[in-house]
């Protein structure tokens, strides 16, 4: 038996909420629409192997999307069958692993077509690929005006099989007009070539934010969802499909009060003395800091829930501790739970709120939780949504 050593800071991962969100998201999509679950970056910090095993066990998703090969290997270990789409460009030398583990790389260039085709030929197999079109992200994909020759080259590659065509939206959370332009550019590329619009080909553009304006009538038949499945809305002013989805946060972050002390008015708190106490103050030292993923930037801005009350962080975040003002909480005790984001009774700090205090985005908050933060999994909290039916196609 190994001893379970206590941890100072832990994240609770509510797998029931994850299931709820995926079912709810699928419920606002047409019934035939494929759900590509984005589990890159350790499933947005939620723990890739637990999340992928859970998704596989409950048969919740159609495909997985990861950034690279090492993540794909973990997913393959959890789900032997489902297609795994590699979103990022594959490095030279990694082609044979794609073939051995039946992974689906993204193709953006003629060079990749050649490399993947050669590797598949060596193994005497066919390798599935998704072709990516750059419609305004400026990252992966072939620029939309120049896509034709790449499609032709791919059609001639005897050991590659085109299973999907996709693009990525750069501003779906902030600029619906540009998103519409991107969709138009993408569909123009496809429309020029009716043979690409064949049965069974996955056509996808939408990330979480795109979902709000997802248009199945245009021919999209798959979505790639990351943030929203973890229960965080990609933006606040959803007015379309996302508005109806009551997402439940999957991850919450907690530590505990490790020390209580009184400090006199005029004392300056933490590194750099950026906070001067205006009154005699009861200070709680809470056992989490930037070594756990609490951004430095939320010092003097964020609050922490203790006993269901918001208690402001005093001064800079340090590596292992933050100091919070608990002067208004006479009943506070050492060992009390301190919540950086998540619920305590009726009180809640959302990840979005925490990310705004931290001058960053919810995606980065989740990806910043470090190894030191123990992930504790809960499975039971939510019933699947029952009031939603897939939208008829």
Ligand X SMILES: *Cc1c(COP(=O)(O)O)cnc(C)c1O
Which residues are near ligand X by CB under 6 A? Answer: 38, 40, 87, 168, 207-209, 224-228, 234
Nearest CB to ligand X, comparing residues 71 and 321: 71
Which lies closer to ligand X via its Cβ, residue 136 or residue 289? Answer: 136
Residue 30 is classified by DSSP as B
Task: Output the six-digit token pair for 307.
Answer: 């006993």
Minimum CB separation of residue 364 from ligand X in Å reads 11
Q: Alpha-carbon distance 69 to 103, whole Å?
A: 9
Nearer to ligand X, 40 or 316 (CB): 40
Place of tokens 């004392």: 267
- Cβ neighbours for 236, distance < 8 A, ≥ 6 positions apart: 352
CB-side neighbour CA atoms (13 Å) of 86: 29
Q: Least distance to ligand X from the beta carbon of 367, Å? A: 10
Residue 183 or 282 having the CB closest to ligand X: 183
Q: In the bound complex, what is the minimum distance in angstroms from residue 232's beta carbon to ligand X?
A: 9
Question: What is the CB-side half-sphere exposure of residue 214 using CA atoms within 13 A?
Answer: 30
| Residue 204 CB, nearest approach to ligand X (Å) | 8
From 20, 40, 64, 166, the catalytic residue? 40
**132 catalytic per annotation:** no
Geometric angle at alpha carbon 302, from 270 and 287, rounded to 5°: 55
Q: Which is nearer to ligand X, 24 or 228 (CB)?
A: 228
Integer angstrom CA distances of residue 194 from 102, 188, 219: 28, 11, 12
φ, ψ for residue 376 (rounded to 5)?
A: -110, 125
Q: 207 or 252: whose CB is closer to ligand X?
A: 207
How does DSSP assign 255-304, residue by residue? EEEEEEEEE-TT-EESGGG-EE-SS-EEEEEES--TTTT--GGGTTT-EE
Nearest residue (beta carbon) to ligand X: 226
Tell me how far, at minimum, the Cβ of 166 lies from ligand X, in Å. Answer: 8
Nearer to ligand X, 41 or 73 (CB): 41
Q: Quote the CA–CA distance of 131 and 148 in Å, as a whole number.
A: 11
Taking the complex as a whole, how short is the minimal distance between the CB of residue 5 and ligand X, in angstroms?
33
Both structure tokens of 5: 């050593």
Cβ at position 229, least distance to ligand X in Å: 8
Q: How far apart are CA 121 and CA 333, in angstroms?
A: 66
Q: Which residue has the tokens 């048969």?
A: 59
> Would residue 166 show up in a list of annotated catalytic residues for this protein?
no
Alpha helices for the chain (secondary structure H): 15-27, 40-44, 48-57, 69-78, 95-100, 110-123, 147-156, 176-191, 351-357, 362-368
Question: Which of 44, 64, 132, 271 is labelled catalytic?
Answer: 271
Active site residues: 40, 271
């Amino acid at each position: 038996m190994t001893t379970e050593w206590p941890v100072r800071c832990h994240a609770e991962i509510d797998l029931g909420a994850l299931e709820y969100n995926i079912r709810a998201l699928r419920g606002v999509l047409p019934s035939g629409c494929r759900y590509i679950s984005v589990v890159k970056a350790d499933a947005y910090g939620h723990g890739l192997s637990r999340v992928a095993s859970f998704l596989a066990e409950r048969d919740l998703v159609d495909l997985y999307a990861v950034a690279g090969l090492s993540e794909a290997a973990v997913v393959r270990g959890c789900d032997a069958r489902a297609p795994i789409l590699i979103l990022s460009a594959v490095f030279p030398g990694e082609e044979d692993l794609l073939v051995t583990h039946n992974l689906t790389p993204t193709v953006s260039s003629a060079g990749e077509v050649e490399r993947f085709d050669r590797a598949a030929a060596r193994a005497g197999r066919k390798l599935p690929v998704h072709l990516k079109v750059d419609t305004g992200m400026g990252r992966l994909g072939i620029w939309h005006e120049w896509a034709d020759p790449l499609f032709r080259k791919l059609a001639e590659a005897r050991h590659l099989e085109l299973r999907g065509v996709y693009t990525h939206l750069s501003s779906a959370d902030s600029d619906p007009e540009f998103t519409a332009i991107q969709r138009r550019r993408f569909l123009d590329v496809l429309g020029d070539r009716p043979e690409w619009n064949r049965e069974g080909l996955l056509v996808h553009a939408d990330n979480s934010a795109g979902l709000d304006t997802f248009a199945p009538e245009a021919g999209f038949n798959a979505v790639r969802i990351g943030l929203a499945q973890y229960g965080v809305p990609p933006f606040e002013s959803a007015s379309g499909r996302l508005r109806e989805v009551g997402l439940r946060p999957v991850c919450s972050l907690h530590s505990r009060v490790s020390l209580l002390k009184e400090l006199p008015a005029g004392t300056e708190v933490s590194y750099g003395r950026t906070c001067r106490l205006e009154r005699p103050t009861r200070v709680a030292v809470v056992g989490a800091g930037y070594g756990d993923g609490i951004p430095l930037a939320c010092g003097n801005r964020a609050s922490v829930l203790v006993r269901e009350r918001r208690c402001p962080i005093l001064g800079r975040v340090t590596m292992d501790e933050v100091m919070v003002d608990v002067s208004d909480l006479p009943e506070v005790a050492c060992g009390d739970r301190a919540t950086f984001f998540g619920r305590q009774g009726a009180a809640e700090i959302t990840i979005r709120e925490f990310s705004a205090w931290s001058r960053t985005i919810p995606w980065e908050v989740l990806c910043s939780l470090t190894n030191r933060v123990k992930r504790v999994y809960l499975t039971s909290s939510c019933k699947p949504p029952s009031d939603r039916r897939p939208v008829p196609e």
